[in-house]
Amino acid sequence: MVAPLKVGLAGLGTVGGSVAQLLHRQESNAPESNVLGARCGRPVRLVAVSAKAESEMQALGIPGLRWVASPQALATDPEIDAFVELMGGEGDPAKSAIEAALSSGKPVVTANKALIARHGVALATLAERSGAALNFEAAVGGAIPVVKTLREGFAGNSFDRVYGILNGTCNYILSRMESEKLSFADCLREAQRLGYAEANPTFDVDGHDTAQKIAILASLAFGVQVDPDAVYVEGISSITPEDLAAAAELGYRIKLLGVAVRTESGIEQRVHPTMVRLDSPLAQVMGVTNAVTIDPAGFSPITLVGPGAGGAATASAVVADLADIARGARVRPFARPVADLAGSRRAPMQRHEGGYYIRLLAVDRPGTFATIARHLADEQISLESIVQRRRNGGPHGGDDPDGTQSPAPIILVTYATTEDAVRKALREIKNRGVIAGNPQVIRIEKN
Amino acid sequence: MVAPLKVGLAGLGTVGGSVAQLLHRQESNAPESNVLGARCGRPVRLVAVSAKAESEMQALGIPGLRWVASPQALATDPEIDAFVELMGGEGDPAKSAIEAALSSGKPVVTANKALIARHGVALATLAERSGAALNFEAAVGGAIPVVKTLREGFAGNSFDRVYGILNGTCNYILSRMESEKLSFADCLREAQRLGYAEANPTFDVDGHDTAQKIAILASLAFGVQVDPDAVYVEGISSITPEDLAAAAELGYRIKLLGVAVRTESGIEQRVHPTMVRLDSPLAQVMGVTNAVTIDPAGFSPITLVGPGAGGAATASAVVADLADIARGARVRPFARPVADLAGSRRAPMQRHEGGYYIRLLAVDRPGTFATIARHLADEQISLESIVQRRRNGGPHGGDDPDGTQSPAPIILVTYATTEDAVRKALREIKNRGVIAGNPQVIRIEKN
C-alpha cells in the first residue's frame, strides 16, 4: 500500500473525539476490514492532535498520538499531510490555524460553518493560491452529503432554488409545538432540558445558524460569494400553536427554512418561518432531522434528508472529506474559481414575490371584513383562502367575561403578490382600527 | 484555460441527445456562463459521436461533430479523452466498446445498468488495470447522486442497509392503484398509454430492473461483487387494490423496494413488494419518483429523493461523471479494489426474518379462525394486528346470490418471524381447507 495520509486534528469536542475514534478504529482493523483505507487506496492515519488540554488527548485512549499545544503549529507541522479543524468559532485560533495550513499548501477539513460563512472567500483564495483543498461537508447538514452534491453532483447544471431545514433545534421545537400544542417558550425549555437547544438559544432560534448554512449553499449553487450578511433573517419565536394548527388545516406545515433562489433581481437569500405544502418532502421532516431540496433548471427536484448534527454523523462527513484528500481529489472550495464568484448582496425583501399566510385579530363590528378586503384589493392582492370561525357561542366572536366581544381571528392565504403590497395593505388595515395587535405574516414557499 | 476534455459519445437516444445538447450549450456560452467549464477547471467538449444512423447526429444541429460509424472505433479514437456509452444493452456493441476504451486507458461514463450489473466486476478489473475511470452514476436513480454518495460520501462508514424505490414505472402503478382504486392490469395499461411503461413491461413490473440497480448499490455499500443473480426477485403483479387499502388502514404503504441488508448469514439482496410505514420517507414517494435510504452503522438514515429517469435528469448524472474525469478524480468503480470485493451469493429467503402481512380468504364455517390461529402458533408466529370485517350483511361473510356465504378476507400482520415459518404455517392452513385460493404474503420492512 502507498504512504498513509497523516492527519493532524485540532479540537477534541464531540465531533473531534468521534473523528479520532473513527480513524483509530479503521487503522486498528485487519487490513481487509479497513474500509476507509480500501476506499482511499491508502491508510488515513491520525498522528497528532491539539486541544484545550493535553488530558483530552489522553482521555481518547488512542496510543501513539503526538501532542501539539498550538493549533497553528499543528497546522504547519511538517509531519502532517492534512489538517482537520474542529475547534469552532469564526475567529482565532481556528481562523489563523486554517490560514497557516492553506498558506503552506496543506489541505484542510473543517466543520466550522461560522468561519466558512464569514471568511470563506478569503480562505478559498488562499486555498486556490497554494492548490490545497478546503473541504467543509460537515459545516452544513451534518452527515447529509449536500456540499459534495452541489459541488460535484450537478456539474453541468444551473439551479433555480436551493432550500431546506438546516437547524435541528428549530425543527424540533416546531415539530413539538405542533404535535403537543405547546407554546414556543415551553418547547424551547423542553428542548434545552433534553440538550437539543443551547443555554443561549438565540443563535439557533433567531435563524442565524440557518443563515450561515444557506449562505454556504447559495455560494455553491449559484456561484456567489458566501456572505451571511446578504441573508434576510427572521426567527421562529413569533410562531404560535394557532399558526401551526391553521397551517395544517390549510394543507401546510410551518418550517424554518433557509432559501436561496434565483430571481430577476439576483440571488435572493433568506431565512424565515415558511409555510410548505403538507405533501412536500420538507413537510415530512420532523424533529432534529435536516433536509435540503435542490431545484435544478430543467428537471424535478432532488431532496436529501438526514441527521444534521451529532458526533458520529458529523464525523462521518469530516472523514469523507479526508478521504477525498487521500485520493487526491481536486475540487475548488466553492466549485468555481474565486475570481468567478459574483458579489452577494442582500435582496430587497420588499420586492419578494410569493404567497402569504396572514393571521389577524379582527375587531367585532360591522364593516370590519369589508375594510380588510378593500385594502387588500387596493394592493391587487387576491385571496386563495379565508378562514374565520365563530368563537365560543357568538356568531362573530366570543363573549368576554365583561360582556364585550373579543376580537376574532381571521386567517387569509394570498395568491402570489409582493411583500411590499402585503405590508402596505396591513399598515392601512391597522390604521383603520379594525384589527387588534399586530398581524402575523408567514411567507409561503411553493414546491 | 487548460486543454479541454474531448468526449466521444456513442448512442443518441433521449439521454444521449440530452447529454450532447447540455455539453454544446455550455460550450456555446460566454466563458463566464460556462458553469461546467468553471467547475471543472477546463472545458468539456463533445467532439465525436456514434449512433445507429448518421442522420441522428445531423438532427442534433450541433456543428463540428465528427461521425464515427463504429462505437468500438470511437471508444479507442486517439482524438478523444473520454468515452460515453449510452447505447444500452448488456451485450455488444456496448460491452465491447467499453472494454476497448478501458483497455486502452480511456475513462468511460455509462448509464447502462444492465451492463454494469452483469459485467461490472470484469469491467472494473479492466479499469483498475489501466487506471481508467469507470463512472455509472446515471445507471441507478437517474439524477439522484446515490452512486457518488455511496462511493465517496461515507468513506469511513459501514452500512447496515441500503434500500429504495428504484423503478419509476412500478411506483407510478402502485401510486395510481392506491389513489384510484384500480387493478394492476388497468394501471399498467394507463402507464403504457402515458409512456411510463414499456410495451413489454415485464422487465420493470417483474422487478428485474430494480434487481440490477440494487445489485449495483449493494456492491458499492457492502463491498460484494455486483451480481443480479444474487438478488431474490418478486414483482408487483399480484398486488390488489384491497392490499393497498388494507396497508393504509394498518399504517403502511406498499412499495416495490430493492433491499440490500447485512444479516448474520451475509448480505441479503432482494426485490419484492414491501410494506413500509406511512411515516417513513420512502412511503411519501409517489409517482415516477425514485428514492434511496442509506442506513449507516452508528447514526440515523440518509434518504435521497429525486427523478429516476428522463433525458435531462439522466444527462445531468452523465455530465457530472464527465466532470469528475475532467478534474482527474480517481475513485475505483466499486469504491474498493476489485480484489477486495467479496463473492455475492443469493440469500436463502426461507431464512429471511421480518414481519409479514398476510391476506387470506377464510371459508365461513365454525372453527376456521381457530384453525388458522393454531397453525400460526405452532410456528411460533405472533400477531401484531388482525382485521376481519363483516361483509355486506352477514356477520362473518356476505351472502352470495345462491344463498351460500362467500369467503371473508382476513388480514394478519405478524411480528418478526422467519419466511420459513410463515410458508409452513400457510401450507398447513391451506391443507386444512379453511381458506379459498392462495394467501397473499407481503414482507414488512422496518424503518
Dihedral, CA atoms, B204, B242, B275, B112, nearest 10 degrees? 10
CB pairs under 8 A between A and B: 189
CATH node for B352-445:
3.30.70.260
Residues of B in contact with A337 (CB under 8 A): 38, 41
Mutate which of B1, B35, B286 to test chain A, going by most A C-beta atoms within 10 A? B35
What residues of B are in contact with residue A301 (Cβ under 8 Å)?
306
Chain A residue numbers with beta carbons less than 8 Å from the beta carbon of B312 are 298-299
**Residues annotated in a binding site of A:** 10-17, 113, 198
Verify whether the Cβ–Cβ distance B299 to A316 is below 8 Å.
yes
Peptide bond into B296 cis (omega under 30): no
Q: Do A152 and B301 touch (CB under 8 A)?
A: no
- For residue A134, CA distances in Å to A11, A112, A318 come to 17, 11, 12
Distance between CA atoms of A323 and A34, rounded to whole angstroms? 13
**Over the stretch B202-220, which tens digit does the pLDDT of each residue have?**
999 999 999 999 999 999 9
Contacts of A144 in chain B (CB under 8 A): 302
pLDDT at site A394: 44
User: Residue B211 has which C-alpha cell?
Assistant: 434487481
Mutate to test the interface with A, among B33, B84, B300, B340 (most CBs of A within 10 A): B300
For A151-307, the fitting CATH number among 1.10.3720.10, 3.40.50.720, 3.30.360.10, 3.30.70.380 is 3.30.360.10
CB count, 10 Å around CB of A71? 25
Check pLDDT > 80 for residue A403: no
**Contact criterion met (CB < 8 Å) for A152 and B156:** no
How much is the pLDDT for B398? 44
Q: Do B320 and A26 touch (CB under 8 A)?
A: no
Which amino acid makes up residue A220?
L
> Does the active-site annotation cover A446?
no
- For residue A23, what is the nearest residue in chain B, using CA coordinates? B156
Structural fold of domain B146-305 = Dihydrodipicolinate Reductase; domain 2 (3.30.360)
In A31-177 the beta strands, taken as DSSP E runs, fall at 44-50, 66-67, 82-85, 108-110, 134-135, 159-165
Q: Does the pLDDT value for residue A412 go beyond 90? A: yes
Contact B253, B284 (CB under 8 A): no
Residue range A255-285, pLDDT digits in tens = 999 999 999 889 999 999 999 999 999 999 9
- Our CA-based measurement puts residue B367 at a distance from the nearest CA of chain A, in whole angstroms, of 44
CA B306 – CA B308 distance, rounded (Å): 6
pLDDT of residue B388: 85
CATH architecture observed for domain B5-139: 3-Layer(aba) Sandwich (3.40)
The per-residue pLDDT for range A173-209, each reduced to its tens digit, is 999 999 999 999 999 999 999 888 888 899 999 999 9
Nearest Cβ partner for B303 among A39, A149, A306? A306
Nearest CA in chain B to A24: B156
Of A154, A157, A336, the CB nearest to B38: A336
To test the contact with chain B by mutation, choose from A128, A224, A303, A327 the residue with the greatest count of B C-beta atoms within 10 A, namely A303
Handedness of CA A47, A52, A53, A57 (dihedral sign): negative
Contact B299 A305 (CB under 8 A): no
State how far residue A434 is from chain B, nearest Cα, in angstroms. 43
The pLDDT tens digits for B102-148 are 999 999 999 999 999 999 999 999 999 999 999 999 999 999 999 99
Every domain of chain A and the residues it spans: 5-139, 151-307, 350-445
Q: Is a pLDDT exceeding 60 seen at residue B169? A: yes
Query: In this complex, do A155 and B302 lie within 8 Å of one another by their Cβ atoms?
Result: no
Percent of chain A beyond pLDDT 70? 96
Whether residue B320 and residue A40 make contact (CB cut-off 8 A), yes or no, is no
Looking at beta carbons, which residues of chain B come within 8 Å of A336? Answer: 35, 38-39
Residue A2 has pLDDT above 90, yes or no: no
Q: Do B284 and A284 touch (CB under 8 A)?
A: yes
Domain A350-445 has CATH 3.30.70.260: yes
Per-residue pLDDT, A198? 86
DSSP B360-416: EEE--STTHHHHHHHHHHHTTPPEEEEEE---SSSSSSPBPTTSPBPPEEEEEEE-S
Give A74-90 pLDDT, tens digit per residue: 999 999 999 999 999 99
